[in-house]
Structure 1
Amino acid sequence: MGPFGAVRGLPRLDRTQVMGVVNVTPDSFSDGGRWFDPDAAIGHGLALLAEGADVIDVGGESTRPGAERPDTAEELRRVLPVVRALAATGAVVSVDTMRAEVAAEAVAAGARLVNDVSGGLAEVEMLATVADLGVAYVCMHWRGHADVMQDRTVYADVVTDVLRELQDRIERARSAGVQPDQLVVDAGFGFAKTGEHNWELLRRLEELEVLGVPQLVGVSRKRFLGSLLAGPDGRPRAPDERDDATTALTTLLAWRGVWGVRVHSVRASRDAVAVVQQLQDRPSG
């Protein structure tokens, strides 16, 4: 994979970027609302920056299977103070939202990237809004909101189908005025996909390179890792006990030249990226 692409408004690095997750939600699968209070969320974001996060991704809506959506006013109440405070430190802040209004308000508060898990499908206004804002945009593969997405896991071939559907979203984004250097794609691990779909996408991730767009990979603490690591009783390992497996994937993804990884435990992934850099920095001659 690679080389690492330039994305508008973000630092260009010669390694995989590490995006740290700040969930300002009461019902996140990964941390159960630990950072729901704005001050706690800001503190957590600062801690992730201290661990070496390149980007902080602030989200006010849980997208775990079955989650209920907050209304727009509540989502804004959750994310804006956190985005504003973290951006004020000079941090590169992303807003994780499917709503055009939230995207616009967050960018006004200092966000430099819009991470839309719906790829512009949840709100028709999103693509034109991102074009007007002129900021980086993560376009993810998506087939429906959290309450229905696991009913939509049928693929002829998951990699081929995801590739085709992402290509359609990219074309629609560009038709709406989104420029090539604004775009990042995400295959949507865990969104309308079974565990085996996720593994197949990881095995064949290089096939998505034909899109010609940098890739963000978000597999941190996902359910398919919990299933892989299930105990003798068959129970999946708890989300906060999946970080070692997440770091293993970060190492492999960094070796393969993926543009970015979205993770909950930043230091371990930054360490993994540093190891890969050292191994790949072969002396000449």
Structure 2
Amino acid sequence: MTTLPGRGRVAGLPVWDRCAVMGVVNVTPDSFSDGGRYFDATTAVKHGLGLVDEGADLVDVGGESTRPGAARVDAAEELRRVVPVVRGLVSEGVLVSVDTMRAEVAERALEAGAVLVNDVSGGLADPGMIPVVADAGVPFVVMHWRGFLQGPNVRGVYRDVVDEVTRELHARVAAVVAGGIAEDRVILDPGLGFSKDVEHDLTLLAHLERLAGLGRPLLVAASRKRFLGRVLAGSGGSPPPARERDAATAAVSAIAAHGGAWAVRVHEVRATADAVRVARAVEGAR
């Protein structure tokens, strides 16, 4: 099968024959979807292992909520939340990604065995991040980001969201590569829900091929997000709670996989693992 444009290969990670599935472990009391459920390290590790059993190829561990209006935790607290979970999962043979905007947390998580840094700010929130990742020689997720989700940054303004996100991601790739991160270790994330409204998110999903044109693998993180709730609610309806959006998430996972995404990041793994395998089977029948 010909590799789709956005799938590609990430140096330092396995090569999957389909869109990979990244399971989410939020070690937080306040994440929008499952805050508090896995706040204890032992529970979080158990949950991560459960995600692997359900089909996750790697597990993304985060200790700070990035939902709109969320208060930042200090570095010491983020380290306390994240490092034991990373260490526990790695000891069980799990490929672990660390979801952080702090260089110090990334560095400690990498020392504990994480193999990937997923920074929703793309290295903008902490000037120390790019040097840490470059020195470690690990893959780095660069997400489209226009600042912390507070005040005017909650709702982004775009004239052409696909063109602007593409151009801004291109600029971030140039910056991180100039900072010493190898280009073949850079992964792109369009940042669904970050300074974007429902129409922006849907438009980006409809034009993944434009983002794939940047030449780097794509991570699509749509799981349980607000735009799915709005779509499910329809005109004038009330959006279902986050945990009732997993079927919609799996649908987006299939769309993203069919569109060539390298990986999808999800809270509920089993349905998405099935979805990406079906998408792969359809590709193979072409």
Please indicate the TM-score interval, normalised by the length of the shorter structure.
over 0.9
Q: CA deviation at 1:128?
A: 1.4
Residue identity matched to 2:161: V
User: In the alignment, which of 274, 280, 285 is matched to residue 282 of structure 1?
Assistant: 285
Aligned residue in 1 for 2:187: 184
Q: CA deviation at 1:205?
A: 1.4
Q: CA deviation at 1:232?
A: 8.0
In structure 2, how many angstroms separate the alpha carbons of the residues matched to 1:212 and 1:154? Answer: 26
Q: CA deviation at 1:149?
A: 6.0
Residue identity matched to 1:255: H
Q: CA deviation at 1:152?
A: 5.0
Q: Give TM-score scaled by structure 2 length.
A: 0.95
User: In the alignment, which of 91, 116, 121 is matched to residue 113 of structure 1?
Assistant: 116
Q: CA deviation at 1:23?
A: 0.2
Give the root-mean-square deviation of aligned CA atoms.
1.5
Q: Map 1:1-285; keep pairs closer than 5 Å.
A: 1-2=4-5, 4-148=7-151, 150-230=153-233, 234-282=237-285
In structure 1, how many angstroms separate the alpha carbons of the residues matched to 2:191 and 2:234? Answer: 26
What is the count of residue pairs matched by the alignment?
283
In structure 1, how many angstroms separate the alpha carbons of the residues matched to 2:59 and 2:192? Answer: 19
In structure 2, how many angstroms separate the alpha carbons of the residues matched to 1:183 and 1:118? Answer: 14
In structure 2, the gaps of 5 or more residues are: none
Q: CA deviation at 1:151?
A: 4.2
SS class of match (1:229): helix
Q: CA deviation at 1:233?
A: 6.3
SS class of match (2:172): helix
Q: CA deviation at 1:150?
A: 3.8
SS class of match (2:171): helix
Residue identity matched to 2:142: C
In structure 2, how many angstroms separate the alpha carbons of the residues matched to 1:32 and 1:233? Answer: 27
Q: CA deviation at 1:47?
A: 0.4
Residue identity matched to 1:32: G
Residue identity matched to 2:73: P
Residue identity matched to 2:126: E
Determine what percentage of the aligned residue pairs are the same residue: 57
Q: Is the 8 A contact 1:149 1:191 kept in 2?
A: no
C-alpha distance 253-232 of structure 1, shift in aligned 2 (>3 A): closer
In structure 2, how many angstroms separate the alpha carbons of the residues matched to 1:209 and 1:6? Answer: 13
C-alpha distance 152-241 of structure 1, shift in aligned 2 (>3 A): closer
Residue identity matched to 1:49: V
In structure 2, how many angstroms separate the alpha carbons of the residues matched to 1:129 and 1:152? Answer: 31
Query: What is the CA deviation profile of residues 203-234 of structure 1, one whole-angstrom value per residue up to 9, with x for unaligned ones?
Result: 11111122111000000000010111127862
